[in-house]
Amino acid sequence: MENIEGNRKSVAKMKHTKILFILILISLTLFTSGCEERTIAEPPDSEEDSEVPEKLSLEEARQQASFEIITPEYLPDGYVFNYSIVYNNGNITPEDQDAKIVILNYQKGNKSFQIKETVYESKWEFGDAEITVYPDKLEENTFMEGTEKISINERDAKYLEGPEDLNLLQWELGGVEITLSGSLEKAEMLKIAESLDPYTEFYILGPEGTAENYPTDYVLGKSGTVIVGVVNHEYKPVNYTMEVRLEDTPLPLPPDQQYITLGDNETWEKAVTITPPFEGTEMTLGFLLYNEDEKNVLEEGICMPYRDLRLWINVSQNLSENISTPLTAI
pLDDT higher at 273 or 146:
273
Burial letters for 202-215: b for 16+ Cβ neighbours within 10 Å, e otherwise? bebbbeeeeeeebb
Residue 192 class from Cβ within 10 Å (0-12 exposed, 13-18 middle, 19+ buried)?
A: buried
Q: In the predicted model, is pLDDT for residue 142 greater than 90?
A: no
pLDDT, one tens digit per residue, over 97-126 is 678 899 999 999 999 999 999 998 654 444
Q: How far apart are the C-alpha atoms of 299 and 307, rounded to whole Å?
A: 19
In this prediction, residue 89 has a pLDDT band, given cuts at 50, 70 and 90, of low
User: What pLDDT score does 73 carry?
Assistant: 87
Q: In the predicted model, is pLDDT for residue 233 greater than 70?
A: yes
Average pLDDT, the chain: 78
3-class DSSP assignment, residue 265: coil
User: What pLDDT score does 318 carry?
Assistant: 78
User: What pLDDT score does 78 carry?
Assistant: 96
Is residue 53 within 8 A of residue 36, CB to CB? The reply is no
Is residue 56 within 8 A of residue 84, CB to CB? The reply is yes
User: What pLDDT score does 298 carry?
Assistant: 64
User: Please, where in the chain does CATH 2.60.40.10 lie?
Assistant: 199-321
CATH of domain 2-195: 3.30.200.100
User: Please, where in the chain does CATH 3.30.200.100 lie?
Assistant: 2-195
Q: What is the mean pLDDT of residues 166-170?
A: 92
For domain 199-321, give the fold: Immunoglobulin-like (2.60.40)
Q: In the predicted model, is pLDDT for residue 28 greater than 80?
A: no
Sheet strands side by side (includes 99-108): 80-87, 99-108, 111-120, 176-182, 167-173, 155-161, 148-152
Burial letters for 232-243: b for 16+ Cβ neighbours within 10 Å, e otherwise? bbbbeebebbbe
pLDDT, one tens digit per residue, over 54-75 is 899 999 998 898 888 899 989 9
User: What pLDDT score does 126 carry?
Assistant: 44
User: What pLDDT score does 300 carry?
Assistant: 66
Is residue 180 within 8 A of residue 113, CB to CB? The reply is yes
